[in-house]
Amino acid sequence: MDHSIAGRLTQTGHELLVRVYFEDTDFSGVVYHARYLQFLERGRSDFLRLKGIGHRELLDGAFGAPMAFAVRRMEIEFLRPARIDDILRVETRTALLGGARVVLDQRILRGEADVLVEARVKVAVISPAGKPMRMPPAVLATLAPEEASVAGA
């Protein structure tokens, strides 16, 4: 299966394929629940990457002051387990965009219609010292899809 290593932008956001390896499973035979958060984070990172925003550049101050994304809140449903050797698809789209945080809706699927995980993730931008910051315009513009509700944070 050929694909771009950073996934691809879609009409509604982004999708990324990830493989389940030994490292992702636990002794119950399926994927360890906290690993799905890593798959989701890969999706978010590659969504930003394809829009021109890298974590290293963010921390080096390429978008104003040095900053990093931090997850503030997550609601996550673990619906069905993934297994070793599975190829999963991580879907990411902006649900709500404010000046100081963005809410993303993410799903992990196997095949076309088998939804394994659903998550709503609130992400903020912080300084290296951990202080909340306003998102720089370039980041705001990147995360604003046509269909997202844009509102004050």
Q: Which residues bind a copy of itself (CB under 8 A)?
A: 1-6, 17, 19, 21-23, 25-30, 32-35, 37-38, 41-42, 45-46, 49, 54-56, 59, 68, 70-78, 80-81, 83-85, 87, 128, 130
Can 26 be counted among the known catalytic residues? yes
Residue 135 DSSP code: P
Query: Can you read off the two tokens belonging to residue 121?
Result: 């993730």
Least Å distance between CB 59 and a copy of itself? 7
Side chain identity at residue 16, one-letter code? L
- The answer to whether the Cα torsion of 59, 62, 67, 70 is positive or negative is negative
- Which helix (H) or strand (E) segment is 142 a member of? helix 137-143
Whole-number Å distance between alpha carbons of 43 and 107: 10
Query: Can you read off the two tokens belonging to residue 137?
Result: 């315009």
**Closer to a copy of itself by Cβ: residue 121 or 148:** 121
**Closer to a copy of itself by Cβ: residue 71 or 100:** 71
Whole-number Å distance between alpha carbons of 16 and 39: 9
Least Å distance between CB 150 and a copy of itself? 24
Do 66 and 129 meet the contact criterion of CB atoms below 8 Å apart? Answer: no
Side chain identity at residue 93, one-letter code? R
**Closer to a copy of itself by Cβ: residue 85 or 147:** 85
Catalytic residues: 26
